[in-house]
């Protein structure tokens, strides 16, 4: 079982990682079979903070139960904040000028990236962009390593 956090209002992709030749896929969310979800991947967006869900994939090959493969995840919905946002785009060392401009636009009220952007967050993002991890952490309050 794998536990992980998902950011509120952000679509996630959940993929099965079965071994063998899986041809029959079944997905269960909180032990309820998701009828119509018959592929190796599902997509979900969660909108309630603090929710916890168990997602399970059961895969079989054509012979039914010959080589069953199952994977289970427990997810918790967390708020979007500067640290989660940076993580969602690939981490502190993946920030691009586009991301910083998105932050500036949100700071100016021109767009919404899911949290309130401060000038300190922008300066922290610039520090990360320049490879100054310690300065970025200090300005954003994140604890990236």
d(CA 16, CA 3): 14
Closest CA to 1 of 61, 44, 54, 68: 54
d(CA 117, CA 82): 8
d(CA 103, CA 44): 25
For the stretch 14-53, pLDDT in tens is 887 655 677 788 899 999 988 888 888 889 888 887 889 9
Q: Are residues 70 and 58 in contact, defined by beta-carbon separation less than 8 angstroms?
A: yes
CATH code of the region 2-78: 2.60.40.3010
Asked if residue 103 has pLDDT above 60, the reply is: yes
Max mean pLDDT among 16-20, 62-66, 87-91, 100-104 falls in: 100-104
3 state SS of 81: coil
Domains in the chain: boundaries: 2-78, 82-140
| Average pLDDT along the chain | 87
What is the structure's pLDDT at 73?
Answer: 84
Q: How far is Cα of residue 57 from the mean position of the Cα atoms in its chain?
A: 18
Annotate 2-62 with three-state secondary structure. Answer: EEEEEECCCCEEEECCCCCCCCEEEEEECCEECCCCCCCEEEECCCCCCCEEEEEEEEECC
Mean pLDDT of all residues in 87-115? 93
DSSP H/E element including 135: helix 133-140
């Amino acid at each position: 079982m794998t536990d992980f956090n998902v950011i509120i209002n952000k679509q996630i992709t959940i993929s099965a990682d079965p071994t063998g030749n899986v041809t029959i896929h079944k997905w269960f969310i909180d032990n309820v079979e998701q009828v119509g979800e018959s592929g190796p991947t599902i997509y979900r967006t969660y909108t309630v903070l603090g929710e916890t869900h168990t997602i399970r994939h059961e895969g079989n090959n054509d012979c039914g139960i010959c080589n069953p493969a199952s994977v289970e995840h427990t997810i918790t919905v967390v708020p979007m904040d500067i640290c989660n946002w940076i993580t969602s785009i690939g981490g502190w060392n993946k920030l691009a000028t586009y991301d910083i401009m998105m932050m500036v636009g949100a700071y100016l009220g021109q767009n919404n990236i899911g949290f309130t952007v401060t000038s300190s967050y922008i300066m922290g993002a610039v520090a990360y962009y320049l490879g100054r991890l310690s300065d970025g952490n200090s300005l954003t309050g994140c604890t990236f390593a």
